[in-house]
Amino acid sequence: MNDMTPIVTTLKDWETDQEVRWCPGCGDYAILKAVQRTLPQLGADPAKTVFISGIGCSSRFPYYIESYGFHTIHGRAPAVATGVKLANPELDVWLVTGDGDGLSIGGNHLMHVLRRNVNMQIMLFNNEIYGLTKGQASPTSREGTRSPSTPYGSVDHPARPAAFALGSGARFVGRGFDVSKHLPDVLKAAHAHQGAAFIEIFQNCVVYNKDVFEDFAQPKGAEDRQLWLEHGEPMLFAGGTKGITLDRQALRLAVVDVVDGDWQAADVIVHDVTNRSIAHMLVEMPFGAFPMALGVLYDDPRPTFEAAVAEEREKASAGKEPNLARLLATGQTWTVGDNAADPVSSRPPGQGAPNADDPR
């Protein structure tokens, strides 16, 4: 995000006149509403907000947000967004991508936008399937996923978006799911983060991969299966009866019982969003034996790419006059005079323009 004067808007101000074309019941509707609800709370200015997407169901998102929007090509949104931020760092850029767009065809760009730390919010809608092309297995599909392209079940190992992001050098990794009431909080934290903020949003594809996240997302028993992380708070779930601790011998996380709320006795870890080592464990924490880690898993800003580029340009330009005539005459030059008797005079190197290149 960027520091800017808060603008007063309502949810309605962020709705476009375009007919939304997602399937009935699609998780994208809930995410759209969550974003439209969050933007007014951020004081965001529609004129300075840009939603940039690739290709896929999720990437239709910009058409439904009343701001500037750019629906680009498959996988390349991070590269387009990088150009936008370098050209105008004042713009507040939200990137919308999916598991196919962001991790398959666009995996390379996603990696680089994260490691460069270009200041934007990156929402990856993970539904573990290709929706818009009618249901093929995606890079996040679980092993054995049956689909038109994998009729006998997929055999390749799924990517873990949050682990990918952290491994790529992301300084903010958040997680939520479409219908979660906590999603706006994660979006707000991502927006507050200066730098590339990666948010994995589990999204229910009701047509091709229905209820694939029900094991942890369904309201019933959610307490036992969701670990909502908060900075400075102990990692507790199941109504405070269970927690996450660090097995210091094996150097891995473990679930412990918490008796009578005494989490300190159970050695439950206090979440520190700046702890990169723990973040690596959280993004790899297997669901089943553990609850699903949600919320802000990691948040430790460092200088942004566009600021570094601007700073370098300023430093390199300092004291240099942008004189085009002089630039054109750079290097070893010679003058042909009007006097035919003395047609040529030269200016040897060293006496030419100060930034003369080695003439190779």
Interaction of residue 341 with other proteins, rule CB under 8 A: no
Separation in Å, CA 145 to CA 151, 163, 214, 286, 353: 8, 21, 16, 18, 65
Q: Hey, CA dihedral for 281, 286, 287, 289, is it positive or negative?
A: negative
Count of residues of this chain found to bind other proteins when the rule CB under 8 A is applied: 69
Secondary structure (3-state) at 185: helix
Evaluate whether 54 touches 19 at the Cβ level (below 8 Å).
Answer: no
Give the residue with the Cβ less far from other proteins, 264 or 355. Answer: 355
Interaction of residue 73 with other proteins, rule CB under 8 A: yes
Kindly indicate which of the ranges 70-78, 130-138, 155-163, 236-244 contains the residues binding other proteins, using the contact rule CB under 8 A. 70-78
What whole-number distance in Å separates Cα of residue 55 and Cα of residue 96?
9
Among 3, 257, 262, 338, binds other proteins (CB under 8 A): 338
Give the residue with the Cβ less far from other proteins, 48 or 280. Answer: 48
**Nearest by Cα to 34 from 55, 65, 77, 68:** 65
* Near other proteins in 12-41, by CB under 8 A: 16, 18
Among 5, 220, 335, 341, binds other proteins (CB under 8 A): 335
**Nearest by Cα to 28 from 2, 3, 53:** 53
Residue 251's region, left for phi above 0, alpha for psi from -120 to 50, else beta, is left
Strands 242-247 and 252-257: antiparallel
Secondary structure (3-state) at 14: helix
Give the number of other CB atoms < 10 A from CB of residue 43: 12
Among 62, 95, 101, 311, binds other proteins (CB under 8 A): 62
Give the residue with the Cβ less far from other proteins, 12 or 248. Answer: 12
Min dist CB 35 to other proteins, Å, is 15
Among 90, 156, 233, 311, binds other proteins (CB under 8 A): 90
Min dist CB 126 to other proteins, Å, is 22
Kindly indicate which of the ranges 155-163, 254-262, 269-277, 322-330 contains the residues binding other proteins, using the contact rule CB under 8 A. 322-330
Min dist CB 16 to other proteins, Å, is 7
Give the residue with the Cβ less far from other proteins, 103 or 111. Answer: 111
Q: What share of the chain is helix, strand, coil (3-state, %, to 5)?
A: 30, 20, 50
Evaluate whether 89 touches 2 at the Cβ level (below 8 Å).
Answer: yes
Interaction of residue 70 with other proteins, rule CB under 8 A: yes
Interaction of residue 354 with other proteins, rule CB under 8 A: no
Which residue intervals of the chain are DSSP H helices? 27-42, 77-87, 99-100, 107-116, 161-167, 183-192, 214-217, 222-225, 276-284, 305-317, 324-328
* Near other proteins in 286-305, by CB under 8 A: none
Give the residue with the Cβ less far from other proteins, 111 or 162. Answer: 111
Give the residue with the Cβ less far from other proteins, 136 or 333. Answer: 333
Residues of this chain that bind other proteins (CB under 8 A): 16, 18, 46-48, 50, 52, 55, 62-63, 66-74, 76, 78-88, 90-91, 108-109, 111-112, 309, 312-313, 316-317, 320-322, 324-325, 327-338, 343-344, 346, 348-350, 355, 358-360
